Structure 1
């Protein structure tokens, strides 16, 4: 009987090179632990990245990996999954790589529902190219490219994914491995494109930008960990989100004796696109940050649909090496 795999079995002998204190270290450890927990097969696992700090990820995973072109990781991953549907394909990208130059490629892998996991590390800044503002940077962000403060309206990765047609959308925090690991497991189990936004601290160029909700001393008040079929409660159950039926918006209410009963708190339904839309677009000021699986509505994946209409039904009819040695594919009858 083979010995069970551990997190160390998914680590390579390469020196991990990110800035000391970077949130990427915690995410790497969490992914390695998660793959060990589910006993993934390294020989059937592939990590594909584009360009950016997060894109060094494949070097540190004991699996197959492709460090590809800026913003094009979804394209490579789609080809891999179609060519070999049995592979477990992960895309690692950042807010710049995935939502700027790669925005169109990310959109299409989500709308097609290709069976891959997309991990988008969001630190609201360009780290690799020395701190320019990114598509997710908040208004007022001071950077080498916006010394007077950004005036751009930022992209919400989750709302973008929902608008693109993603069927699985989740959020996590880099250092909160206790809650991030189950999210990664759920993403891996999902048959289709699973989009996970991970809030990641860039300690050099955008330090503590998420401190308003990741600070452990305030986390109970500032984080809302959603669970399917459970009321949207936070602050140790003393507060919750109630649907205002007049405005069709969510509002914070006190819960308990002499306050709003739990029965009036909105129950999370991860299959409900409307609830997902409200949670993903909550104002940052005054509301807790929704974390966990926010939307999960399975449907046929792109690769399953592709092979179901293909004459070979996904079965191999030849070898790539033979095709390459056959000569020109263009032959006149």
Structure 2
């Protein structure tokens, strides 16, 4: 409705009363159109331009309740004030339940016209409130739909990015493996193999992300199983044939999964190189959860603390483990009572700062 005078359609078979209503409401700022039957009222309503309806109950042909029912079937109908000379409250209740906005008892002298003007004004205001509410709800639904579409597009793009990054890293790891296999120098072979394991640890996270329905978390048990399988395939002479994993189902974010995978790669490769000078032996990786705390163990049954430091070692692996442990805010311990080497890392499932941060609100 605009600032122009509102148009009221008065449906009543009483011509004299119709003239009284028209004169009275026109003085109050309404444009009034009067029709003598429910059928005529419905026909006029279909032409549009009606802001509010005053509807009599007792009319030949369609009565007021039957007309009201058909009015409510029209899309976005104007508000209706039900008007009748009957004192029967059942009619009022029935009309209000059928969709009327208000109910008035009329008289033949037109003394009800001021009350009709108040009721029509109130019905128009209520209609404006309902329209504003419906428009707001429609906008909210549209915003949610747009947000859902954007979120779906973002997820698809992230999945594609992780797929491409994972493929690229896998290609790099394969190239490093080929280079290591063809190298004649043990030092170069070892360096390339170590680099390949580190790249593969990161690639496995991206592989998990683009093959998962959840782009925000990684199942560590599945991730570690795939990572260790990569290490077994890359090892020479079956030196990792006794590499085993025992891991509980644990979820964590991708960044922490990368750090965990790199630590496992470094410590497993360290055990392969130094724990069994005479050949192969068992290497066990264990991951268990206690609430929000995780414990990661990498253990072997090798020479342990009795081995002397390798003079060719650069200490790079130890520095990487320390850096990744700091990223996890992990406590790293070496079990002095274990006959071989047993490294224990304890850390939270999620970073303390990230866990304390509130989730962003959806639009």
Give me the TM-score of the superposition, normalised by structure 1: 0.20
Of structures 1 and 2, the one with the larger relative CO (CA 8 A, separation 6+) is 1
Larger radius of gyration between Structure 1 and Structure 2: 2
Which is helix-richer, 1 or 2? 2
Give me the TM-score of the superposition, normalised by structure 2: 0.19
